[in-house]
Structure 1
Amino acid sequence: MTTAVWTTMTEIILQYTGLWPTAFFTIVALMVVTYKVVCGMFFSADDFVPIKRQPLHLGDMTEEELRAYNGSDSEKPLLMAIKGKIYDVSTSKMFYGPGGSYAMFAGRDASRALAQLSFKPEDINGNLEGLSDAQLEILQDWEYKFMDKYAQVGQLVPKKTPTENKAEEESVWDRTSAEGIKSRYAAGE
């Protein structure tokens, strides 16, 4: 069988190129080597490295705001929190993106689930109460892995209550009103 294939290939190469197979393959090998040498002179391997997107520092955000970064919007980075620290896991989209094995952790604080090595939806939260020392050690290992591999882009903060929001709005209103009054007196109105 192999001799029949070799004979057929020899006849085809001789018929179309006019060269014996050894000469044909020598010329092809020289062309490949020449191509590699010429490309190496003009292009370096660094020219083909994909450009990494610099992570944005998003600052403080609530768990509700974090959920918007779960991979459902391809324009937004993939974020995940451990122990209240938010990390950009966009470089591991195959794991944390839609369809990935850890996709359920994206856009969430997964501290408890990671500590318990659990994929249960009820464990995907930041509550560390009741965890054993061994589980806290596992969580610490996860945190070190994330610190080494991913950029921290923010911090989780508790959700503001409506009274806190109103107090903040009033203090901003008071400051702007006071500044307006000061500027009027300074202008002589």
Structure 2
Amino acid sequence: MALQLWETLKEAITAYTGLSPTTFFTVLALLWAVYYVATGLFGSSDDHIHQRSTAFEEQMEPLPPPVQLGEITEEELKQYDGSDSKKPLLMAIKGQIYDVSQSRMFYGPGGPYALFAGKDASRALAKMSFEEKDLTGDISDLGPFELDALQDWEYKFMSKYVKVGSIKKTMVPVTEGDASGEASGAAETDTKQTEDGPSQTPVTESEEKSSPADTKEE
């Protein structure tokens, strides 16, 4: 019975494939081997990617909550430019400081906007400039379109990031020249008052002296 089935199978293989039974089973074995190798390669690749992904997630620590800094100077803000991974990544717009640590891939070292970190980048954002001279908070001479663009950036930061402080405004010291100018102005005022004072006194005295003469004439 088994012999008859084998003979029937060989005839069917030859009739439908045109191959001898030996060749047919050899090709079938090769195809199975290729399938097994390909499956093993792709399977190991997926496992490797999964392992790398898991390791990356394990290395990524959750971001600490933003810390309120209050008022700090622009010089103090520079230390939060992302060069120290233990410190938050900060950036200021119109004097208001925001924690942008969650967007480190953009504002951190190597990111497309890394040069804005640790600075008040109001002017650069308004002009969409990456020049060093524009990395400042001075927006006094910007046009209406640039100010509108800056306003859009500010709204974006207000809605996405936490405000943690503001930049301390530096007081302009009064120079000695200004003080001497004020003093000289005060001196000139006093001198003018002094000059005006005596000019009225002789008139009064002359009027008083003229009174007896007028009386005698009468």
How far has the Cα of 1:135 moved from its partner?
0.5
Mapping for residues 75-86 of structure 1, pairs under 5 Å: 75-86=86-97
**2:166 aligned with 1:155:** yes
From 121, 132, 137, give the equivalent of 1:110: 121
How far has the Cα of 1:128 moved from its partner?
0.8
How far has the Cα of 1:149 moved from its partner?
1.1
Question: How many residues align structurally?
Answer: 127
Give the letter for the 1:98 counterpart: P
Kept in 2, the 8 Å contact 1:62–1:158? The answer is: yes
- Shift of the 130–79 alpha-carbon distance from structure 1 to 2, 3 Å rule, reads same
* Secondary structure of residue in 2 paired with 1:71: coil
Paired residue for 2:100?
89
Task: Give the Cα–Cα distance (whole angstroms) in 2 for the partners of residues 6 and 156 of structure 1.
Answer: 75
Give the letter for the 2:107 counterpart: Y
- Shift of the 69–7 alpha-carbon distance from structure 1 to 2, 3 Å rule, reads same
- Shift of the 139–11 alpha-carbon distance from structure 1 to 2, 3 Å rule, reads closer
How far has the Cα of 1:10 moved from its partner?
2.7
Partner deviation per Cα, 1:42-101 (whole Å, 9 max, x = no partner): xxxxxxx96342111111101000011011111111100000000011111111111111
Give the letter for the 1:125 counterpart: T
From 126, 132, 137, give the equivalent of 1:126: 137
Q: Where does the alignment leave 5 or more consecutive residues of structure 1 unmatched? A: 14-20, 26-48, 164-189
* Secondary structure of residue in 1 paired with 2:98: strand
* Secondary structure of residue in 2 paired with 1:74: coil
Partner deviation per Cα, 1:18-37 (whole Å, 9 max, x = no partner): xxx9xxx9xxxxxxxxxxxx
**Higher Cα radius of gyration:** 2
Mapping for residues 18-167 of structure 1, pairs under 5 Å: 51-159=62-170
Task: Give the Cα–Cα distance (whole angstroms) in 2 for the partners of residues 6 and 154 of structure 1.
Answer: 72
Mapping for residues 166-181 of structure 1, pairs under 5 Å: none
Give the letter for the 1:126 counterpart: G
- Shift of the 12–72 alpha-carbon distance from structure 1 to 2, 3 Å rule, reads closer
Q: TM-score, normalised by structure 1?
A: 0.60
Paired residue for 2:214?
none
| Structure with more of its chain in helix, by fraction | 2
Paired residue for 1:179?
none
Q: Where does the alignment leave 5 or more consecutive residues of structure 2 unmatched? A: 1-25, 40-59, 175-218
- Shift of the 76–130 alpha-carbon distance from structure 1 to 2, 3 Å rule, reads same
Give the letter for the 1:134 counterpart: F
Task: Give the Cα–Cα distance (whole angstroms) in 1 for the partners of residues 86 and 62 of structure 2.
Answer: 16
Superposed structure 1 runs of 4+ greater than 4 Å apart: 4-7, 160-163
Paired residue for 1:187?
none
- Shift of the 12–105 alpha-carbon distance from structure 1 to 2, 3 Å rule, reads closer
Superposition RMSD on alpha carbons, in Å? 2.9
Task: Give the Cα–Cα distance (whole angstroms) in 2 for the partners of residues 94 and 85 of structure 1.
Answer: 22
Kept in 2, the 8 Å contact 1:113–1:124? The answer is: yes
Q: Aligned residues: percent identity?
A: 54
Task: Give the Cα–Cα distance (whole angstroms) in 1 for the partners of residues 161 and 128 of structure 2.
Answer: 20
